[in-house]
Structure 1
Amino acid sequence: MRLTTHEPAGYECPFCSLQNGVFDDHNQASDVVAVTDRAYARVAPKWWPANAGGALVMPRRHVENLYEMKPADGHAVWDLTQQVARAMRLSYGCQGVSMRQHNEPAGDQDVWHLHVQVLPRYRDDRLYQQHLDARWAHVDERRPFADRLRSALPPPNSFV
């Protein structure tokens, strides 16, 4: 059953574009840290002040939100989310991780391709109080975090 879509007509999905080799300031090949048949993970381009290096895990197939997710894709996303969380904990030296996933505008979704955010957490980091202070990180800032996660995960496969 398809619920109402919020994806505008002619929407160019940044996550699908990244898989197809279309790059821009927020999407670079160097951001990708792991790829499976059904899911992929990348370092997020948007960071909160005390939580640099967050990651996004998403299905390879374009799906707008959780309501439309096929079970096999959901399992693949969840499995990769767990791997990324473990790799983040080991390679960043963070004290924990938080995960969140948003659906529809009222649920705070702002990219119309399902994704799970995996965020490094530190004692007293005030992540949820600093939502409005998030900023776009330059690819050169993202690269060392992607390298650390990539080295702690099994080798990624090509998108091709």
Structure 2
Amino acid sequence: MRELPPDRLFVSHEPSDYQCPFCQLQQGVFDERNRPTDVVGVSDLAHARISPKWWPANPGAVLVIPRGHYENLYDLPDDVGHAVWDLTRRVAVAMKQAYGCDGVSTRQHNEPDGDQDVWHLHVHVFPRYRGDQLYLRHLDAADVPASDRAPYADRLRASLELPTDFA
């Protein structure tokens, strides 16, 4: 195992001019990938939203995101981490109820070599169905329009019964 010097453990990969889509959503800056209708639940320290990117056999995937801007797991405060995982569990339970899926998978990525591509920590929550081959279809993921996301958001919102505004 290769050891890194202490000054190399927590290197930021976020570009200096980065416009964080998760922070923009909370600030009311919307585009096709960030719609207010994507938000399914908000707590003091975390929020959940329907992901704009889906894998072919796993529609309605969710992202659970800290409300504060933390690039990755390395700089996440403990209380925020607990809030993210508490909301992740609530989303997983709601997903089983609302979607009738066979199971749920979660993923979280850190740094480019860990497959992170948005520089704000987030946990993926995937509805799983027998034979869906989620982990074999990584390159098949694609953005979906807000109109396709809306019915899934509606079902999860009803099941979660959480606030959906950032006030």
TM over 0.5: yes
Gaps of 5+ in 2: 1-5
Q: Name 2:89's counterpart in structure 1.
A: 82
- The equivalent of 1:146 in structure 2 is 153
**Of the candidates 47, 50, 54, which is equivalent to residue 47 of structure 1?**
54
Runs of 4+ aligned structure 1 residues displaced above 3 Å come to none
Secondary structure in structure 2 of the residue aligned to 1:62? coil
1:158 aligns with 2:141: no
Q: For structure 1, which runs of at least 5 residues remain unmatched after alignment?
A: none
Deviations 1:33-69 (A, max 9, x none): 0000000000000000000000000100000000000
Q: Number of residues paired by the alignment? A: 160
Partner of 2:136: 129
Residues 1-160 of structure 1: pairs in structure 2 closer than 5 A: 3-160=10-167
Report the identity percentage: 60
Question: Within 2, Cα distance between the matches of 1:157 and 1:46?
Answer: 20
* Amino acid of the structure 2 residue aligned with 1:36: S
User: 2:39, 2:164 within 8 Å by CA — same for their partners in 1?
Assistant: no
Taking the aligned partners of 1:6 and 1:130, their CA distance within structure 2 comes to 26
Per the normalisation by structure 1, the TM-score is 0.98
Larger-Rg structure: 2
SS of residue paired to 2:15:
coil
